[in-house]
Structure 1
Amino acid sequence: MSSKKNIRHLSLTELQDFFVKNGEKAFRAKQVYEWLWTRHATSFEAMTNLSKQLRTYLEEHFVLPAVQVGTTQQSNDGTIKNSFRLADGNIVEGVLIPTDTRQTACVSSQVGCSLSCKFCATGYMERKRNLDYDEIYDEVALLNQQALAQSGKKLTNIVYMGMGEPLLNYSNVLKSIERITAPDGLGMSPKRITVSTAGVAKMIRKLGDDKVRFNLALSLHAANDKKRSQIMPINDSNSLKELIDALNYFYKQTGNEISFEYILFQNFNDSLQDADELIKIYRQVPVDLVNVIEYNPIDNVVFRKPDSETTDAFLAYLAKNKVNARVRRSRGKDIDAACGQLANKQKANEIAEAAASSTI
């Protein structure tokens, strides 16, 4: 393993100190910093306004472990799913979701996930590690390049709804957003960024204490503790009451938008009684919107989505009770890019193939 430091883990000040100590002009640090973040260079060789000697010198002292696009699949609806290959060989997935008015990037924050939600493909994977903030940044930068290539339009929105639980990678997620929103980064507005959590009450409160400026989405999916614990084990240690209190604290501290995500499962959480329980929670939190999501099937799981009549009745009941709700139609289902479907099948296939080839 290389002992060289990741150059993107240095601040601008630290880069300036490095250059001055090694007999270079301090302004070189700004040039390098711009290449690293604004211009998204993936190698020292790409930094063409530096001398060849200086580029070689940087290569001798630092590494630049940029994320690479592995494979790309395009859905019939225009959604694009990418496998992103990390420098250590691990793979995560990220999705570009284009519409007439938006270009949304859905990014991952962990390799795998530790929460084991029963309806989510990533939940059946082992959590291998957290992504570093520069790796998350790379996902966004690569999806932005893809959006520009496809439509000539930059990303308009970012959702941390890919693989992993963002609040269990707290510092890297916040630092990635800091870089994404920085003028010398991608310069995006934090109001265009939504972080989705399965519900880590302590960290939701910390978001409030840290006065973050982005939006928060809670993956609710069931509105009583018994049902929620059946499908989301994290609820055993983060009850709905604790989450309600944490969300109210977050809103009091930040005033930022909060939304609920609610996947409908046939004969589980799709009755009018379930809707009543959802309404009670909705009225206890300053929720801007409830996204009612159609379930997207994954392998070897028994959940099914309800028929359209049941879904319509559920939505109509919410509307009658003045709940701001909408159905979020899933995109990219035909390429396993929809909500809950990111499972890194390519990596699983690679492992299976490697095992098969080593069998005598």
Structure 2
Amino acid sequence: MTRKQNIRHLTLPQLREVFGEMGEKPFRAQQVYEWIWAKQAPGFDAMTNLSKNLRAGLEERFDFPAVTVDATQQSTDGTIKSRFRLHDGYLVEGVLIPTSSRQTACVSSQVGCSLSCKFCATGFMDRKRNLEFDEIFDEVALINRQSMESAGKKLTNIVYMGMGEPLLNYKNVLKSIEMITSPDGLAMSPKRITVSTAGVAKQIKQLGDDKVRFNLALSLHAANDEKRSEIMPINDSNNLKNLVEALNYFYKATENEISFEYILFKDFNDSLKDADELIKIYRQVPVDLVNIIEYNPIDNARFQKPSEEKTTAFMEYLGKNRVNARLRRSRGKDIDAACGQLANKA
């Protein structure tokens, strides 16, 4: 049996055309479009200003594969992790990270991941498929609802730092951001959105060519090629020289914020020599901020978190060398919702 067309993949002009074929007035198309994006309806039944006959006709003709919340867990620090169920039964995770000044959604862009980073739980999973743009939009809309229910506040920020490599699902990630920032969708400023990449140089340049308006974060985690290739196989085909060139190209084209993500691993990348190498890379790119991240141990990885003394020494050394660095304390560790821990465990 052929699967029906996903109604959310139609543009407003296409919807108007369909409604014309159905003998319906054009304004009905506008109503449905609003239900889909502005009101985030979970299905045709929710479209209460349409007649039952029209809803039944749409149901017959189109698919509406909305994402649903399969399970949630709340951390002692207020972080909420959700496991989302997709129409085909696959599961992905998203996280609401609340602080005193921000409500941040961390969303996934792929089911699993193909990059096999040695410190990340998702990296030990196979990549099953890319998320469609409307599925990513649903993640954000559902986390926004959780934010409203738990804190009475809308989301302030979105980070594409969940499961998967966003730039290997380029088209859907960009289309999801288009809908999230659209006045017809969530009307969020693109400056409040950060896409994180393990470093796909060609696609970073493509972001520059496409003049995107959101921010970019590079998961660096080691500042020399030998170490980076050891923990991130993608570095073999996207080395630091190529990434520096791509990031400068991106900045020249967009002037959007660039940040580095750098997880500290005990006795691997936490020495002052490692800090010097990080400073050298930092000075080659117009980086706004370096996020130094606490490591969150996972079952399959050999890494450990450095001591507080080592972490403090690393941070102080960066500070002395005028690096704008911030230590990001992990949140949601007790529910496997922290950086690198997402693996569909509940």
SS at match of 2:77: coil
Within 1, Cα distance between the matches of 2:235 and 2:264?
18
Deviation at 1:25, TM superposition (A): 0.3
Deviation at 1:2, TM superposition (A): 4.3
Within 1, Cα distance between the matches of 2:142 and 2:161?
17
Within 2, Cα distance between the matches of 1:69 and 1:230?
36
Deviation at 1:53, TM superposition (A): 0.6
The answer for the alignment partner of 1:330 in structure 2 is 330
Q: Cα RMSD between the aligned structures?
A: 0.6
CA offset digits 1:41-85 (Å, max 9, x no partner): 111011000000100000010010000000000000000000000
Contact 2:336 2:345 in 1 (8 A): no
Deviation at 1:306, TM superposition (A): 0.4
Within 1, Cα distance between the matches of 2:293 and 2:300?
20
SS at match of 2:78: coil
Q: Does 1:279 align with 2:304?
A: no
Q: What is the identity, as a one-letter code, of the residue corresponding to 1:60?
A: E
Within 2, Cα distance between the matches of 1:45 and 1:339?
37
Deviation at 1:3, TM superposition (A): 2.6
The answer for the alignment partner of 2:120 in structure 1 is 120
Q: Percent identity?
A: 76
Within 2, Cα distance between the matches of 1:345 and 1:187?
32
The answer for the alignment partner of 2:26 in structure 1 is 26
Gaps of 5+ in 2: none
The answer for the alignment partner of 1:55 in structure 2 is 55
The answer for the alignment partner of 2:194 in structure 1 is 194
Moved runs in structure 1, 4+ residues, more than 6 A? Answer: none
Q: Does 1:172 align with 2:160?
A: no
Q: Does 1:69 align with 2:79?
A: no
Equivalent residue pairs, number: 346
Within 1, Cα distance between the matches of 2:50 and 2:330?
46
Contact 2:121 2:300 in 1 (8 A): no
The answer for the alignment partner of 2:240 in structure 1 is 240
Mapping 1:109-258, distance limit 5 Å: 109-258=109-258
SS at match of 2:136: helix
The answer for the alignment partner of 2:312 in structure 1 is 312
Within 1, Cα distance between the matches of 2:184 and 2:162?
25
Contact 2:103 2:156 in 1 (8 A): yes
SS at match of 1:196: strand
Within 1, Cα distance between the matches of 2:159 and 2:332?
16
Deviation at 1:302, TM superposition (A): 1.3
Contact 2:137 2:180 in 1 (8 A): yes
Within 2, Cα distance between the matches of 1:86 and 1:126?
17
Within 2, Cα distance between the matches of 1:297 and 1:33?
44
CA offset digits 1:301-324 (Å, max 9, x no partner): 210010000000000000000000
CA offset digits 1:120-163 (Å, max 9, x no partner): 00000000000000000000000000000001100000000000
Within 1, Cα distance between the matches of 2:35 and 2:333?
36
